[in-house]
Structure 1
Amino acid sequence: MGSRYKNQIIGLMRFSYPSLGGFVTKNESADQIEARLYEDARLERRFHLFENLALPSLLAQSDQDFRMVFLVGQSLPSQWRDRLNDVIAPLKGARVVALASLPHYMAVRRAFNFATPDAATHVTGFRLDDDDALDINHVARMRATVNALLPVAGLDTPLVTGCHRGYFLEFKPEGHALFHVIEKAPGAQGLAMTRPAGSSENIFRRNHRFVTQFYNTYTDANIPAYIRTIHTDNDSDPHASGQIETADWETAAPLIAEHFPFTAAQLQAL
């Protein structure tokens, strides 16, 4: 595509950001949202999953040519802000963006804009929650898919790319359960939108289950591309829109080792 096209891949993670809207819990005041999100025990649990699941999957990407924005509230207590800065230091292209509490979509638009270089003609912005993981070739596969399809879809038209095969990891006192999932619609984990750099659109504009109603969309059904955790702190309602079946740990172990930077035993011990 030559000089007409310079794509910047940017990931966005909302790290306990107290947005006005965007949560399952409704009718909370700004103070109530912050009190819930910044409760010490909750943040300790979030960091545990981030440091052992999400961050290792980013550090292990075979294609490291991407930026990663961590959106936090300006009100995030300093000890947690410092801890976040410390743990993401090894991640090339990582940046913390701290904003006041804003309506959800306004906040993510600003966060993406902070990380977009002037030279970029297009941005491929993907989303990831702090308690989930991507397969190690996710960014590389995303780049190859966009390069192949954007000339067909059109340089001025948003293109959504993602995946709908992966694992749900449910935390249970008696032992974690693993489920193999093939969604009918693309999952939120790693879901991306490629759009012109000056566009106001991004992957958070629509609910991830409905993107095919609004955008040209390609999703991969062959690669186990994500691990989504299910636990008491989920900020959204975790459910599969398609096929879900219990996965045997021993059978799943080789696939997990092949596609992710951890073993089945490590997932069971989280």
Structure 2
Amino acid sequence: MQVIGFCRFSYPAEGGFQVEHASIAERIAYLYAPERMEARFRLFETICLPALKAQTDPDFEFLILVGEAMPKALRDRLAALVSDLPQARIVARPPGRHRKVCQEVINAARDMEAPCLMFRHDDDDAVAVNFVERLRAAASDCAALTRAHRMVGFDWNRGWIARPGSEGIRAEPTVTPYWGVAQAAAVQPGVRLTLMNFAHARINQFMPTVTFTHEEMYVRGHNDHNDSRQKKHVKPVDLPLLDAEGEALFRARFAIDADHVRRVYGRR
């Protein structure tokens, strides 16, 4: 079965952000500000990409939606980071309505006459190295359910919240349902709706969902540029620094290397 992952990389959508802007031009300026983009690239390199490159089931596509206005130097840097991820494809689009553009990009990559598994993924999050394998197994185990409904959601709710930095990785375990990371859907043939047509915290209001909690399946990136952290009165999260045992777990489970993190965040 076709598996498609979808990631927005600083795409200047109309809507889709908790941070409001007066115009698309203002949003583009905010998204491509040098300090912010440096932070996004470091997160993408150290947190997001390693596990995608290390998937135990490599049979998937990974669509990265960017804006046509992204400066060439940034686009080239992004292409270089995914040059050794053959599943990745960068798709550029002009500004448009968030859900509509995401839907169009995903469906353009689909075989609409066949069922599809799709997962959403932010550029500062990670999934476990066996995520695609587990997703296929979940769809197989729930075959009767996926045949009976046009869409069925899958949500892995156990993982970590983590903040990378020059000292390593600060992180702690968490169990949080419908957080939007390690979240997927099985979609029947011909159904044009995608997982991105629904708010991640509310997919259980629109489709049956199956929740898995028996294994750690994600790392939710925590950083100053999280969209959800730009609002007023957001409390800081104090995360403990991983010890050697924790760093070994992150390497084995998520392919996240604390030494690599220290090198990347130690750069000026």
1:170 aligns with 2:157: no
Deviation at 1:200, TM superposition (A): 2.2
| Among 199, 202, 210, the residue aligned to 1:210 | 202
Take 2:152 and 2:65, find their aligned partners in 1: how far apart are those partners? 23
Which amino acid is the alignment partner of residue 81 of structure 2? V
Counterpart contact for 1:180–1:245, Cα < 8 Å: no
CA distance in 1, matches of 2:67, 2:158: 32
Q: TM-score, normalised by structure 2?
A: 0.87
1:32 alignment partner in structure 2: 26
Residue correspondence of structure 1 range 1-270 to structure 2 within 5 A: 7-117=1-111, 121-154=114-147, 156-170=149-163, 177-183=170-176, 185-237=177-229, 249-250=242-243, 252-263=246-257, 270=265
- Which AA in structure 2 matches 1:143? R
C-alpha distance in 1 between matches for 2:261 and 2:78: 22
Deviations along 1:73-99, one digit per CA (max 9) or x if unpaired, are: 111111111121222121122111111
Identity over aligned pairs, percent = 30
Paired amino acid for 1:36: Y
Deviations 1:225-269 (A, max 9, x none): 11111111111249xxxxx99667235344323312134565577
Instruction: Tell me which amino acid in the other structure corresponds to 1:201.
Output: L
**Using the alignment, how far apart are the partners of 1:237 and 1:191 within structure 2?**
21
Per the alignment, in what secondary structure is the counterpart of residue 236 of structure 1? Answer: helix
**Counterpart amino acid of 1:229?**
G
1:163 & 1:236 partners in 2: Cα distance?
A: 21
**Deviation by residue 1:101-150 (Cα, 9 ceiling, x = unmatched):** 011001101110221136x5112110111111111000100011011103
Secondary structure at the counterpart of residue 204 of structure 1: helix
- Cα gap change, 1:175 to 1:55, in 2 (>3 Å): closer
- Post-superposition Cα deviations, 1:173-203, rounded to whole Å, max 9, x if no partner, equal 98753121011x2221131111124212211
Structure 1 residue 153 displacement after superposition: 3.7
When the two chains are superposed, the root-mean-square deviation of aligned CA atoms in Å is 2.4
TM-score, normalised with respect to structure 1: 0.86
| The 10-residue stretch of structure 1 (86-95 or 31-40) with the greater mean CA deviation from structure 2 | 86-95
Count of aligned pairs between the two proteins = 257
Report the 3-state secondary structure (helix = DSSP H, G, I; strand = E; otherwise coil) of the residue aligned with 2:196. coil
5+ residue gaps, structure 1, are 1-6, 239-243
C-alpha distance in structure 2 between counterparts of 1:129 and 1:8, whole Å? 20
Structure 2 residue matching 1:193: 3-state secondary structure: strand
